[in-house]
Amino acid sequence: QAQMARLNFIVNVLLNKNREITHVVAGHPFQAHEKGCEIEREIAGVKVPQRADITITTNSGAPLDLDLYQTCKGIDTAAQITRDGGIIIVASLCGAGIGPEAFLELHRSVDSPKEVIRKIKREEPIGVQWENQILARTQLKQDIYLASSLDAQDVRDMMMMPISTVEEGLEKAFAALGDDAEIIVIPEGPLVLPLLDE
């Protein structure tokens, strides 16, 4: 897209967990972006020896856990280190609700994550669909249990299992995957860059 727009200069910033700017990279779109990624791997990269059966995460609290739309960032991080068939347990307040109505409606309008992706490919872009795509891509491989303030039916409409607490999610995950299931905890989901050793 940068090439199509004939973009020839960017300015990107990297933030720490306090949301303060720590680095600025600028220049050619691809080279500056790659330099930013290199710096981020050093700052936020955490080596993970193998994928987990169960990953517990958050969306790093306020303001990042404002709604489910934003929470997809933490879910995406957890998906990178959760095995296929595994379970992601997410604790995110989502005090402002699901997020954009179109985000909820796209998931609600179909019966499976595969259909979400199919619908995105065949219809006109709706602006918020990239989070639907990230979420559906994860849901093709892992189940997601969500502890939040959201209405349980809305959570189910987003193809997730509503839970009251992380403890409840763990009980259900162990019941599904066995008592010897391995767990990884990512306290600040979107602020961590997992580096898988596989």
Nearest 5°: CA angle at 152, between 147 and 153? 145
pLDDT in the model for residue 2: 59
Residues 23 and 98 placed together within one structural domain of the fold = no
Cβ count within 10 A of residue 173: 25
pTM reported for the whole predicted model? 0.89
Three-state DSSP class for residue 72:
helix
Three-state DSSP class for residue 161:
strand
User: Using alpha carbons only, how large is the chain's radius of gyration in Å?
Assistant: 18
Residue 198: inside a domain: no
Mean pLDDT by 10 residues, the chain (198 residues): 76 87 95 95 91 96 89 96 98 96 94 95 81 96 98 98 98 98 93 87
pLDDT in the model for residue 1: 57
Residues 23 and 63 placed together within one structural domain of the fold = no
Residue 5: inside a domain: no
pLDDT in the model for residue 83: 98
pLDDT in the model for residue 4: 66
Contact 115, 88 (CB under 8 A): no
